[in-house]
Amino acid sequence: MPVKNRFAELQAEITEWRRDFHEHPEILFETHRTSAIVAEKLEAFGCDEVVTGIGRTGVVGVIKGKATGSGKVIGLRADMDALPIHEATGLGYASKTDGAMHACGHDGHTAMLLGAAKYLSETRNFDGTVVVIFQPAEEGGGGGKEMCDDGMMERWGIQEVYGMHNWPGKPTGSFAIRPGAFFAATDQFDIVFEGKGGHAAKPHETVDTTVMAAQAVLALQTITSRNADPVDQIVVSVTSFETSSKAFNVIPQTVHLKGTVRTMSNTMRDLAEKRIKEICTGIGATFGGTADIKYHRGYPVMVNSEEQTEFAAEVAKSISGQCDDAPLVMGGEDFAFMLEERPGAYILVGNGDTAMVHHPEYNFNDEAIPAGCSWWAEIVEKRMPAA
């Protein structure tokens, strides 16, 4: 079936919600205004239960079907937070908060899930319970983990969980998904090389940390080219090179490198951490200095469950006519924490020919709203069909 007629009727209203969220972006766990509006709307829709403060500022709404004899409970998750980016769209509803904008479309995700919640509360044409999950701090804060750590899955007996993200460059309202590893694990490293600073005209009297760090930047690339199996996905990127002196004639005492590692398996993740430490420790010793290495594990690999992915794709096909095979994504997604707790699937919905996410000219495409809302609703009605 195509998009549900009810969402065509609701599109203008859902668009108003989305643009209001866009105009008032909130970062990480500071989604106080957004969370309050979400909770207020869920109450107004007639949800059976609305709970705030899950994972600090997360909101959970519970909607029971006309029957609940199946005992099935499905979770649907949207993220609410914005990014610390100065908006450059020039839109009439552009961000009113300097240095913050919805540059990843979480305003659209939140609005679409609210639209689905309104519809499901009105119709309740399913046998079971749906738990709508509105999560803060996806952009680096690990809000999904905090909601899980607060016992969300156990408290509401969630058995499966589904997520969605808009995707620029893909036709508006179309879908793409893949089973298994989908989004990468996202780790960070801090490396401080220490030597002996001194006058740049007397390098023989120093232990030059810039040479150590320069060697390390190049040597770390051999993790991908010479340590990892060529068929495995791994990215090692040094993104910051900061010396303790900015002078032209000083060899600095320390150099601080920062960077990120992206992997698609725990094997590659372990390899990257091990080799970064070995390479940098060795380089420091080779040049007579030391290396202090801190490796920070971030979001895990996001892995779609086989059965739920096949089901999610069939639902998508019923709405748009097809569901494409999605590419591997080396970006991270903290829905991974929820998929570690329960089986489920994460899907991409097309945002059309727009700027890419995390760009100051990005904007969520409101024309994707009916398809996104329909997918949420059909997940519930097809997975928990009414008798």
* Binding-site residues from annotation for Mn(2+): 104, 106, 139, 165, 358
Q: Residue 165 in 3-state DSSP?
A: strand
Inter-CA distances, 115 with 38, 213, 299, Å: 11, 52, 29
Q: Residue 346 in 3-state DSSP?
A: strand
Q: Residue 204 in 3-state DSSP?
A: helix
Residue 128 amino acid letter: G
> Which residue ranges make up the annotated binding site?
104, 106, 139, 165, 358
The two tokens of residue 43 are 């109450």
DSSP class per residue in 195-228: -B-EETT-GGGSB-HHHHHHHHHHHTTHIIIIIS
Beta strands 73-79; 160-167: pairing state: parallel
The two tokens of residue 196 are 């002996």
Inter-CA distances, 251 with 75, 197, 287, Å: 56, 5, 14
φ/ψ of residue 87, rounded to 5: -70, 140
Beta strands 324-325; 175-177: pairing state: parallel
Cα angle, residue 132 at apex, residues 127 and 135 outer, rounded to 5°? 160
Specify which residues 260 forms β-bridges with.
188, 237
- Residue 135 to residue 55: CA distance in whole angstroms: 8
The two tokens of residue 276 are 């970064």
φ/ψ of residue 339, rounded to 5: -75, -20
φ/ψ of residue 318, rounded to 5: -70, -20
Contact in structure between 80 and 67 (CB atoms under 8 Å): no
